[in-house]
Amino acid sequence: MSSDKQTKKTGNIRAKSQVKILAAARTEFVLQGYRGATVQSIADRAELPKANILYYFKNKENIYHAVLEHTLEMWDEGIGDIEIDEGPKVAIEKFIEAKVRMSFNHPEASKIYAMEIIQGAQHLKDYARTYQRQWVREKAKLFQQWIDNGEMADVDPVHLIFLIWSATQHYADFDTQILTIMNRADFEEEDVEKVINFLCDIVLRGCGLT
């Protein structure tokens, strides 16, 4: 086998192993919390030797950081492209749909993020103070421009973002409660669409949009 093919094969094995490890780690961190989860428990869930886990990530803290970073990257990809020329209605609809789908498709990621914030954001303080704060300020400015132009009601842009975050992430962070109340075993695609339409309708009307 040529060196290029061997390198590609090694890269593919590494990527697949890391995906498997991070998936197992998300579950362990949700079930056990950061303190309760161990490298061994993550290895057992991933069905890989503990040595493999340590080879890729060195320690539990690095695994946890990787899980958080992957979560933030997913959210950024989904909600980072709100543009001024789209107008408030399209922007809000895109924002809500992206966050709802992430909550339904990746509930464990949302739960870990919520747990991290509740516990004081020890591993996310720099992120919250720099990137996240800047992101909220930038998006709030867009909403304020639309407000100043008379394109939407005069609402507080920052609290509007908080409202969308909390309403959409509720379906991930409290999925067990929701399914119990609804007497359901799991969510269906029609549930996702229903939540998207409901939240869009409520938020848009609250912003003076139809």
**Helix axis angle, 50-57 to 60-79, nearest 10°:** 60
- What type of residue is 126? D
CATH number belonging to domain 1-58: 1.10.10.60
Rounded Cα–Cα distance for residues 124 and 131 (Å): 10
In the chain, residues under CATH classification 1.10.357.10 are 65-206
pTM, full prediction:
0.76
Q: What is the pLDDT along the chain (210 residues), one digit of tens a residue?
A: 555 555 555 567 778 889 999 999 999 998 888 889 999 999 999 999 999 999 999 999 999 988 888 877 777 766 667 788 889 999 999 999 989 998 998 888 888 888 888 888 777 776 666 777 888 898 899 999 999 999 999 999 999 999 999 999 999 989 999 999 999 889 999 999 999 999 999 999 999 998
Rounded Cα–Cα distance for residues 41 and 143 (Å): 45
In the chain, residues under CATH classification 1.10.10.60 are 1-58
Q: At a CB cut-off of 8 Å and minimum separation 6, what does 103 contact? A: 110, 168, 169, 170, 171, 172
CATH number belonging to domain 65-206: 1.10.357.10
